[in-house]
Amino acid sequence: MDPWSRLRVHTSARIGLGRVGDGLPTSQLLEFQMAHARARDSVHMPFDAAMVAGNLAPLNLPVITVQSRAANRAEFLQRPDYGRKLNAQSETGLFDAANNAGANTSPDVVFILADGLSARAVHENGADMVRQTIALLGDDWSIGPVILAHQGRVALGDEIASRVKAKISVVLIGERPGLSSADSLGAYLTFAPKPGCSNAQRNCISNIRPAGFPVCDAAHKLVYLMTECRKNSLSGVKLKDNFTARNLVETTLALPE
């Protein structure tokens, strides 16, 4: 019996792969190549904003689609700075679109879903993360339009949030795929977002996916951070993350029946 088999059931990491001569067994090599192909596919997968918008429909919130200055995937990968800024059309039209949609143009929070480096992560986990987070928020939170961003990076949320005058931004973005985590979503929280914010001004929840940090638990943690962010008027390294299992139980018990 393989002594590693009892350990493999507890992790998706590649452990005890074995060897044949100075190489991997054929089965392990094929599995590695498949995982690598899935990761590459996740990076190049087109962002299906229409599908995500459909999954967000039960929220009855305006949904606005924007585009970064990266015109296509190749440009997005080669010029990270283009993914941090809106293109000219989105730059001039975002505020008008929010007004025409009847959205709150000075909300407490705006949710931005961006494809990042894994559109698959947003397809599979993005809308669910927004829905569960909003379900946990109190009625005293005003929520802006949900923004769907093509070819977007984290900092794109700063410009978007400043244009809709949101006090807090939450960017839900596809993270760089690993060989066992092609569907990993990241959540980035920023207080008083505006162009030029640094990563030190953000709080991050990473590896949101069924086999990592489940959406339900991640939503509880995000609401905790959002509440502390608003209460203390800060985010990032200055905001202490004291979220514990007790917070998770307390917020679960506070959910409506």
The annotation status of 216 as a binding-site residue, yes or no, is no
Please give the Cα distance from 60 to 77 (Å, whole number). Answer: 34
Spatial CA neighbour of 156 closest among 120, 123, 200, 110: 110
Starting at the edge strand that comes first in sequence, how are the strands of the sheet with 168-174 ordered?
63-67, 146-150, 109-114, 168-174, 185-191, 202-208
Please give the Cα distance from 22 to 152 (Å, whole number). Answer: 42
The annotation status of 31 as a binding-site residue, yes or no, is no
Evaluate whether 147 touches 159 at the Cβ level (below 8 Å): no
244: tokens are: 């514990």
3-state secondary structure 131-171: HHHHHHCCCCCCECCEEEEECCCCCHHHHHHHHCCCCEEEE
Please give the Cα distance from 255 to 239 (Å, whole number). Answer: 25
The annotation status of 154 as a binding-site residue, yes or no, is yes
Spatial CA neighbour of 182 closest among 67, 82, 34: 34
Residues 6+ apart with CB under 8 A from 40: 177
Binding residues: 154, 175, 204
Binding residues for adenosylcob(III)alamin: 154, 175, 204
